[in-house]
Amino acid sequence: MNTSEVTQKGKAAKEASQKLALTSTKIKNEALARMADALDKNAKAIIDANSIDLQAGDKKGLSKALLDRLSIDGKRINGMIEGLNVVKSLPDPIGEVLSEWKRPNGLKIKKVRVPLGVIGIIYEARPNVTVDSAALCLKSGNAVILRGGSDAIQTNIEIAKTIADSAYLAGIPQGSIQLIHDTNRATAEELMKAREYVSVLIPRGGRGLIQTVVQKSQVPTIETGEGNCHAYVEKTADLKKAVEIVFNAKVSRPSVCNAIETLLVDEDIAADFLPMVKKKFDEAQVELRGCRKTLKILPGIKAASDEDWRTEFLGLILAIKVVAGVDEAIQHINRYGTLHSETIMTKDKKAAKKFQDEIDAAAVYVNASTRFTDGFEFGFGAEIGISTQKLHARGPMGLAELTSYKYLIAGNGQIRV
């Protein structure tokens, strides 16, 4: 009987993970440096492979938002290279002593960071995930099995080969970085059941993918990604700054999970603020959908439905609701949010504290764009995902979030009585 690709690569990854856990920081950093050099040298081949995926995606009728996520150019390759270099510069978490103590019976106990083992990543049309995931897994001593979507398969194959070959030349165990080439749904489902080989599974993509993995996986899963994010302009806010923050949070890259999807505006300043922000959004051709109170101030826009408050648009659409104050804003966000990123614009310290205390989300901002919820922006070099759960990681997941720990106990003949 032929061994499946998932089983074959799972076995290799499990074997590699046991060696990688013992690999020195020097070798891991050398591998990251070589991976960065290889991406630079192979940039043309990667962009050529990406053009094949983009052409196929265009023929399939993929949305502009999806094509943007799929697209690779020199700037994005440079971003991947910068991410690799930052991860290289970060402290190696493996072996870190988190705490140590001595018991009355003389036992000495240490709590030490260790890798998780083999990390599986199931993701969609963002080829940078291939590099970010491999870099973070490698530095944290974990083998990685990457299973990207069909829309980016040619790009992912070229990137994965480039970084894996260069890492192995530096002394990283063979099998530490692997990509599943078969993008049929069956391979994703097989990976979800590969408990013998995979320690944890991380889905990165839209709501459909994430929920499928969370519901079907037999492997422990970290829920990531879906971002129905909000910005609330409180009545004391600096309106000019608020316009710029809200515009950035929506328009700078609308296809990503940390872009806002709903704008909440205090009723006391709505008549002044909404025309200001609409003028800015009109320049970017953002479609606005408003509540009844919003429509009275901006009569030319579409009416928002209840479904709009729940929707991650991932494009140039924004829902707007006028609220009575901070309590109503918090109530709305905690009802419709996805525990990702939320922001308030205010000069009122009490309102800011209340918002940060009572909003249930991984990242809660005051007077700043939600677009900063990102591993690179948080100083992690890259991220393997943005966790919207509370076990065992939350928010952008860097090196520390890809580790567990074990206890090392040293005795001198003690027995328990």
- The CATH H-level superfamily of 229-372 is Aldehyde Dehydrogenase; Chain A, domain 2 (3.40.309.10)
CATH 3.40.309.10 in the chain, residue ranges: 229-372
- Please determine, for residue 411, whether its predicted confidence score (pLDDT) is greater than 90: yes
pLDDT digits (tens, 9 = 90+) for 84-110: 999 999 999 999 999 999 999 999 999
Quick one: which H or E segment has residue 10? helix 5-20
Query: Do residues 81 and 383 touch, judged by C-beta distance below 8 A?
Result: no
Query: Do residues 192 and 219 touch, judged by C-beta distance below 8 A?
Result: yes
Q: Which residue has the higher pLDDT, 399 or 224?
A: 399
First to last CA, the chain: 53
SS3 labels along 278-326: HHHHHHCCCEEEECHHHHHHCCCCEECCHHHHHCCCCCCEEEEEEECCH
pLDDT digits (tens, 9 = 90+) for 13-59: 999 999 999 999 999 999 999 999 999 999 999 999 999 999 999 99
Q: Give the CATH number of domain 5-222+397-410.
A: 3.40.605.10
pLDDT at 383: 85
| pLDDT confidence bin for 177, thresholds 50/70/90 | very high
pLDDT digits (tens, 9 = 90+) for 266-301: 999 999 999 999 999 999 999 999 999 999 999 999
Quick one: which H or E segment has residue 110? strand 108-115
Tokens coding 49 = 């492979």
CATH 3.40.605.10 in the chain, residue ranges: 5-222+397-410
Q: Is the pTM higher than 0.75? A: yes
Q: Within 13 Å of residue 372, how many CA atoms lie on the same side as its CB?
A: 14
| pLDDT confidence bin for 334, thresholds 50/70/90 | very high
pLDDT at 346: 98
pLDDT digits (tens, 9 = 90+) for 124-148: 878 999 999 999 999 999 999 999 9
Closest CA to 118 of 230, 13, 253: 13
pLDDT at 1: 55
Closest CA to 405 of 99, 84, 14: 99
- Please determine, for residue 357, whether its predicted confidence score (pLDDT) is greater than 70: yes
pLDDT at 376: 86
pLDDT digits (tens, 9 = 90+) for 211-226: 899 999 999 999 887 8
Distance CA 204, CA 186 (A): 18
Query: Do residues 205 and 123 touch, judged by C-beta distance below 8 A?
Result: yes
Place of tokens 């630079």: 40
Average pLDDT, the chain: 96
Over range 187-193, report the average pLDDT.
97
